[in-house]
Structure formats: structure tokens, C-alpha cells
Amino acid sequence: MEESRPAERREFAIGPDLAGERLDQALARLLPERSRAYVKKLLDAGRVTLCGKPAKPALKVREGDAVVVDIPEATPLQATPEDIPLDVLYEDNDIIVLNKRPGIVAHPSQGHRDGTLVNALLHHYGDSLSEIGGVLRPGIVHRLDRDTSGCLVAAKNDAAHAALMQQFMERDVEKIYLAITDGIPRPVEGKVEGNIGRRANDRKRHGMLPRGGRHSLTFYRTLENYGLVALVECRLLTGRTHQARVHLAHQGAPVLCDKDYGRREVFTERELRRAVEVFRSGASALPSGPAGAVVLDRQALHAWKLSFAHPKGGQLLSFEAPIPPDMLAVLAPLREAWGAMK
């Protein structure tokens, strides 16, 4: 966070709807135009006071508490090369297909000025990336959410970039995701269709809207049903923001550990033991003892398969990114229990 004078001071009084929440969570709702990472940086830099005193993120707020936020003057963004490893699934003179790890955002923004996929691409490919996306998005054809892993294609030249963008716009790209869901979708297989847009009362989150928004369509099927959690395949026919996450939540089974649309932010060893016991015997009591280590702390969503026509030759290319270790850590004990029951 820059040590500049504040460009803007925001003052809030905690209402009854936020009373009892952590300060960082309340701020995320009070500043919907800012990312959670940006809010954290404000708190870490001491730019937030609660009732006139510097406050820690975990402090619980009460109705009527006064919150003051000093937002520093924004400095110009730039994308610089950084030596960040890339997991390359395929590469030629026109395209790069990556297995994006979770926790990395696509390009620099005010909340993420470095450590992005663009910073990594610039280090590895430099000036060979396409320029259609501008100086902050060289090579970026499409994006995955920060905490979503899996297949992503980038372009090395403008002709490839334009051809790929056309395929995405015309829905000629096949995108198949895997999600571990918190609960079982109802029905277990089907489609979700409707308009997605920002929620009127929370601009950071999206939802299914009765009017406005943009058309969205997802076909899904439950591959593995474990009672409390499931492995679900989603085939996205459109590419709306947070589409798979919104659609699965709409079907009553949000993505596990989805901080925006889900029921919990982390999944611990104790919760995993409970899921295994419920699957084995139907027992619903939470096992005694400590919660144990965190098994999963990001949304369990993975861009599993990606297929498209090569932007120059036209031949069909298909790629598959292996399920990442944190999702496998949830699935492995459940699959073992399933195998023992056969």
C-alpha cells in the first residue's frame, strides 16, 4: 500500500445487518467496488479505524460503530516481468495453453499490482505476446477467477488473439469444469439457464436475475455423490462472470469453500472425517476433537478441459488439466470409502 496522502476518506456507521461480523468482512460489503485483497491491504497499512482506533481485521463490529477508511491516491498501473513459474500444457508460435494454479489473478489491477499471470507471461515470453489486450493484458484472451485452477489459453500474436476471441464470442470453445460442491445439486443432472448480473444489494456478487443481466447456460451432471459433498461436471455454453459458481449455488449446491456464494470459507480435517462417516453410515454428528488442519481454503473449482480450433491451422485442439492436489485431498478419502463399499 502506497504511503501517499489519502485521496478519499469514507466514513460508515455499522448497521444492524453487519453487527457481529468481522471488520474485514464488513468492509468487503461496505466497499463492494474493492477486492478483498485491497481491503486487507488497507487494514494492514493502518488506513482503517474503528471508533477512532486502529483495528485488526478479525475484530467483531457492533451496531453503531464508526468506521473510517482512508483510501490512498491511486498510482499508475504497469505490468512488469516477474519470475513466476508457469505450468505449460502446450505451446507453439501462436498460442500458450496453461494449467493455471489457484491463487493467481489474470492481470494487474489496483488490488493486485504484481504477482499476476501477466507478470509471469512477460517474464517468460516478453514482447512475443499479443497486444490486443493493451499494456496490462498482453496475451490474455480469457480469464479464470483468482482461486479457480485449470486450462487457460493465451495468444502470442494479434492474429491468434483475434481468432481465439471470435471463437469464444461465437461459443465455439468447449469449456468443461469440475467442482466439488457443498451439498448435492437438485436435480443431480440438468441445465441452468437464465440471466446473470450483479446483485442490486451487493455489487461484488452476481446472481440469477428476473430481468436485466446477460443470458447464461450451463449443463451439469453429478459424477460422484458422497451425500454431503459431490464432484460435479459443468459444461459452460456461455462465459459469464462467476457463471459456474452462481449456477451451482442456484441449484442448492454451491462450490465448496466459495467465499462469495458458499456456506463456508475453509474445509478442515474434521469436516472431511464427518463427510466420510456420513457417506459410509449415514451418521450426521460432527466428530469430536479439534478441527485439525485446513484441507481446502479456496473455491473447489477447476477448469478441467478446454477445446478449440487452432487460430491459424484450424485443427481441433483439446487439453486437460489434472485435478489439483487440494481438491484431490478432499476426494481421496471419499473415493477410498466408496471403493471399500463396493
Positions marked catalytic: 145
Q: Residue 309 forms beta bridges with which residues? A: 316
Spatial neighbors of 335 by CB under 8 A, at least 6 apart, are 224
Tell me the one-letter amino acid at 105.
V
Residue (of 158, 162, 174) closest to 234 by Cα position: 174
Beta strands, E only, the chain: 6-13, 48-50, 53-54, 66-72, 88-91, 95-100, 149-155, 174-182, 189-199, 202-209, 214-225, 229-236, 267-268, 294-296, 301-309, 316-320
Closest CA to 179 of 148, 209, 152, 203: 148
Q: DSSP label at 140? A: B
- Provide the grid cell at 153: 489459453
Q: Reading across the β-sheet that carries 53-54, which strands appear in turn?
A: 6-13, 66-72, 48-50, 53-54
Say whether the peptide bond before residue 85 is cis (omega within 30 degrees of 0). Answer: no
Residue 164 amino acid letter? L
Q: 192 and 215 in contact (C-beta within 8 Å)?
A: no
Q: Residue 297 corresponds to which cell in the numbers above? A: 481454503
User: How many H helices and E strands in the chain?
Assistant: 7, 16
* Cβ atoms within 10 Å, residue 286: 12
d(CA 95, CA 74): 33
Helix-helix angle 269-281:325-341, to 10 degrees: 20
